[in-house]
């Protein structure tokens, strides 16, 4: 995504390396670039391969129902905008589901890391498990932008952890698993050692 006065995009080979950052053992502060080359970085976060989805979750009179089942995103990253006052988005943190409430009086953007950020960072970052609780009170609207690698991008950075795979391969595996079992298996399919 282009930012500020810099009109170049992540798809442009002259764009600086994708600054995926790594947390230190204390859980913050120190950052570390993964050292991806410009071409590799561009193939891992291609602006033209992103898309926007608009969701409408109807009001649900039954208590305790989900609008969207628990999952991790397959993206590199996802940006979620919940309408003010909507709520409903929950992330799994420390073994418990936590509400991610939109800020009052402001448009809130939430950035979620997806499975591809996890693979690219060799598990330095985890893709967050999240779900949407249905509301008994009101319908809910959300706007979500998903950024993906190019289909033919070979994800090699998690070497030692995951076998190299293309994003297209990952997507097809996810679809096959959902068709066969009803749920996504995800990166586990690409682990080198179980």
| Binding interface with Fe ion (CB under 5 A) | 73
Q: Considering the complex, what minimum distance in angstroms separates the CB of residue 17 from ligand AKG?
A: 27
Task: Choose from ligand AKG, Fe ion, none: what does 89 bind? Cβ within 5-8 Å by kind.
Answer: ligand AKG
Q: Select the residue interacting with ligand AKG from 80, 113, 155, 157 (CB under 6 A).
A: 80
- With b for 16 or more beta-carbon neighbours within 10 A and e for fewer, the 49-67 pattern comes to bbeeeeeebeebeeeeeeb
CB of 10 to ligand AKG, least distance (A): 21
Question: How near is the Cβ of 89 to ligand AKG at its closest, in Å?
Answer: 5
Q: Which residue is nearest to ligand AKG (CB)?
A: 142
Residue 140 bears catalytic tag: yes
Give the C-alpha separation, 83 to 142, whole Å.
6
Q: Which is nearer to ligand AKG, 20 or 132 (CB)?
A: 132
Nearer to ligand AKG, 80 or 155 (CB): 80
Alpha carbon separation from 145 to 4, 62, 75, 182 (Å, rounded): 19, 29, 10, 24
Report which of 164, 97, 179 is spatially closest to residue 187, judged by C-alpha positions.
164
Residues 127-186 that bind ligand AKG (CB under 6 A): 130, 132, 142, 144
| CB count in 10 Å sphere of residue 22 | 13
The DSSP result for 11-39, as a single string, is TSTTSPP-------TTSSS--------HH
In the complex with ligand AKG, the residue whose CB is nearer, 73 or 115, is 73
Nearest residue to 162 via CA among 114, 129, 118, 128: 118
Give me the catalytic one of 140, 150, 161, 163: 140
Cα–Cα distance measured from residue 147 to residue 150, given in angstroms and rounded to the nearest whole number = 10
Q: How far is the CB of 1 from ligand AKG (least distance, A)?
A: 18
- Binding residues for ligand AKG, rule: CB under 6 A, are 55, 68, 73, 80, 82, 89, 130, 132, 142, 144
């Amino acid at each position: 995504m282009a930012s500020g006065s810099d009109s170049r995009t992540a798809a442009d080979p002259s764009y600086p390396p994708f600054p995926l950052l790594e947390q230190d053992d204390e859980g913050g502060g120190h950052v570390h670039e993964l050292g991806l080359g410009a071409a590799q970085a561009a193939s891992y976060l291609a602006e033209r391969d992103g898309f926007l989805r608009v969701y409408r979750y109807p009001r649900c009179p039954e208590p305790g129902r989900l609008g969207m089942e628990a999952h991790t995103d397959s993206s590199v990253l996802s940006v979620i905008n919940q309408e003010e006052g909507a709520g409903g988005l929950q992330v799994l943190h420390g073994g418990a589901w936590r509400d991610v409430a939109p800020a009052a009086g402001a448009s809130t953007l939430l950035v979620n890391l997806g499975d591809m950020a996890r693979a690219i960072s060799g598990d330095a970052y985890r893709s967050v498990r999240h779900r949407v609780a249905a509301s008994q009170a009101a319908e809910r609207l959300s706007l979500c932008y998903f950024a993906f690698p190019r289909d033919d991008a070979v994800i090699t950075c998690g070497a030692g952890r995951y076998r190299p795979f293309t994003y297209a391969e990952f997507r097809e595996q996810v679809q096959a698993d959902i068709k066969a079992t009803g749920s996504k298996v995800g990166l586990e399919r690409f682990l080198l050692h179980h």
